[in-house]
Amino acid sequence: FSLNLAADCNAVLKALQPIFQEQGMTETVHNWEDHGYLVTYIKKNGSFANLRIHPHGLVLVDLQSYNDDMKGREEVDQLLNKVEERMKELFHGNIKRVKRLPAILRGGVIDRYWPTADGRLVEYDIDEVVYDEDSPFQNIKILHSKQFGNILILSGDVNLAESDLAYTQAIMGSGKEDYSGKEVLILGGGDGGILYEIVKLKPKMVTMVVSNIDQMVIDGCKKHMRKTCGDVLDNLKGECYQVLIEDCIPVLKRYAKEGRMFDYVINDLTAVPISTSPEEDSTWEFLRLILDLSMKVLKQDGKYFTQ
């Protein structure tokens, strides 16, 4: 509850107290004098509640309980409804905002919380752990979501879901490129999405270079991300493609030296690379090196795509 005015901590406590006591919860009050109250309510079944009253007009209620079932949720909703009602009686029109957040589930078999790269909390509708393996380089998870299909998660970082065809289409130029008869180089892309989509377009030859760091990513994806990669990862060679399990930098250097040129270079390496060689002493150095080497293997009218 955000209020438009200062909160009389004692008045809030007295107003809400009966709601918790009706539940058979025992009360412990801490009074900071200058920072308001923390009231802890403890129930016999192991549940508890924190009521934090900030004198400048912020009242926070947290409930924590174990073995959440639908009945438990209904009880929580009823309790919070009573708290909301009582607060509205107490403050009339002076409540600026009431916000109730969904329960956070911890300690379950399935972890539904996968924060974004910029640190935002996002809960997915995960209903199955499909693959969960540690390679020497990273943890590789594939989790099933009702909304997104299987989702590839590398060391906690959400990479790609089977529903993310739009990502693959965008990095290929949003349907505006003609790949037929073309020479294409893919850097990274171990999930096989780009390779699968380009092979459909009858290119002359696609070479995909995936670091051995991602060998287990390929293993997981070829089994469990088939909406993304189809069958292209079943073999490392097809009629018009090959997959090289090698660090891309020496491969690019070799191609540049040999004068091997491409119509398209698609850089699908992870945004923050896992460093394996002393050359890659910073992210920007690494990105610049990849870009410089890519330009050297690109035909004059060739195109470079990346995130």
Catalytic residues: 268
Taking the least distance from each CB to a second copy, the nearer of 120 and 237 is 120
Taking the complex as a whole, the smallest distance from the CB of residue 130 to a second copy amounts, in Å, to 17
Taking the least distance from each CB to a second copy, the nearer of 42 and 80 is 42
Report the distance separating Cα 273 and Cα 278, nearest Å. 13
With CB under 8 A as the contact rule, the residue among 15, 23, 27, 42 that binds a second copy is 42
Taking the complex as a whole, the smallest distance from the CB of residue 30 to a second copy amounts, in Å, to 6
* Tokens 């309510």 sit on residue: 41
* Tokens 């195109």 sit on residue: 303
Taking the least distance from each CB to a second copy, the nearer of 61 and 187 is 61
Residue 101 engages a second copy in binding (rule: CB under 8 A): yes
Q: Which stretch binds a second copy (CB under 8 A): 37-45, 74-82, 193-201, 218-226?
A: 37-45
Taking the least distance from each CB to a second copy, the nearer of 62 and 133 is 62
What DSSP assignment string belongs to 64-103? E-SS--HHHHHHHHHHHHHHHHHHHHHHGGGEEE---PPP
- In angstroms, the Cα distances linking 171 to 62, 137, 168, 189, 253 are 44, 26, 5, 11, 23
Q: Are 98 and 90 in contact (CB under 8 A)?
A: no
Spell out, one character per residue from 139 to 168, where the chain touches a second copy: x when CB under 8 A holds, - when not. Answer: ---------------------------x--
Enter the tokens of residue 160: 């790609």
Report the distance separating Cα 248 and Cα 290, nearest Å. 8
Q: Are 261 and 302 in contact (CB under 8 A)?
A: yes
Residue 40 engages a second copy in binding (rule: CB under 8 A): yes
With CB under 8 A as the contact rule, the residue among 23, 27, 35, 306 that binds a second copy is 35
Of the candidates 159, 146, 239, the one whose C-alpha atom is nearest the C-alpha of residue 192 is 159
Q: Which stretch binds a second copy (CB under 8 A): 40-48, 224-232, 253-261, 271-279?
A: 40-48
Dihedral sign from CA coordinates of 184, 188, 194, 195: positive
Taking the least distance from each CB to a second copy, the nearer of 64 and 283 is 64
Report the distance separating Cα 211 and Cα 286, nearest Å. 14
With CB under 8 A as the contact rule, the residue among 5, 6, 11, 60 that binds a second copy is 60
- State the residues that interact with a second copy by CB under 8 A: 2, 28, 30, 32, 35-36, 38, 40, 42, 44-46, 48, 50, 52, 54, 58, 60, 62, 64, 66, 97, 99, 101-102, 104, 106-107, 111-113, 115, 118-125, 166
